[in-house]
Copies of this chain bind each other. A is one copy, B any other.
Amino acid sequence: MATPELDRIDRKILDVLQRNARVPLTELAQEVGLSASPVSERVRRLERSGVITGYHAHVNPQALGRPLLVFVELTLSSKSGELFQKLRDELLHEPRVLECHLVSGHFDYLIKARLSAMSEYRELLAQILRKIPVPAQSNSYVVMEEIKEGLALPLDLS
């Protein structure tokens, strides 16, 4: 997990795998200009060193009946570490919550959730607030159009 040096070939491998995690090793090898065996070793090294943290299928939310994307800004009236831990646990185990971040600024948490309908939003928010024993303030933002969504990071291929 120590930060390893990433050379040009490693970065190219990451670039390809970010776009298509199921590309055959032989094809990946062609794209980076090596034979299959060193590429296999490099991929394994990137996995073991924690540079690649996983391979995930991306599924269309509409197909699973979750057309609603909502962001919630949450502010807690008390900011004890114990309280934050309680909320963290609740959000981690709630699969409708795709993202959750502790932020600096006008509120404490930014939460991203995919839901079936607005009725589910009210239900989810009530469920979260029920778990924390102090008043909390929330602002929600319903996404009208998804311009872009992904996790792929830019790579310098020079």
Residue A66 is within 8 A (CB to CB) of chain B in the complex = yes
Task: Please report the total number of A residues contacting B with Cβ < 8 Å.
Answer: 65
Residue A57 is within 8 A (CB to CB) of chain B in the complex = yes
Q: Mark A89-109, 1 if CB is under 8 A from B, else 0.
A: 001100111111111111101
Q: Mark A139-156, 1 if CB is under 8 A from B, else 0.
A: 111111111111111110
Residue A39 is within 8 A (CB to CB) of chain B in the complex = no
A58 touches B62 (CB 8 A): no
A148 touches B91 (CB 8 A): yes
Residues of B within 8 A of A55 (CB): 20-22, 55-58
A96 touches B154 (CB 8 A): yes
Residue A3 is within 8 A (CB to CB) of chain B in the complex = yes
CB distance from A120 to the nearest CB of B (A): 11
Residues of B within 8 A of A154 (CB): 64, 95-96
Measured in the bound complex, the distance between the Cα atoms of B4 and A93 in whole Å is 29
Residues of B within 8 A of A57 (CB): 14, 17-18, 21, 52, 54-55
What are the 7 closest A-B residue pairs judged by CB atoms, nearest first?
A95-B154, A17-B57, A21-B55, A102-B145, A100-B147, A103-B141, A51-B63
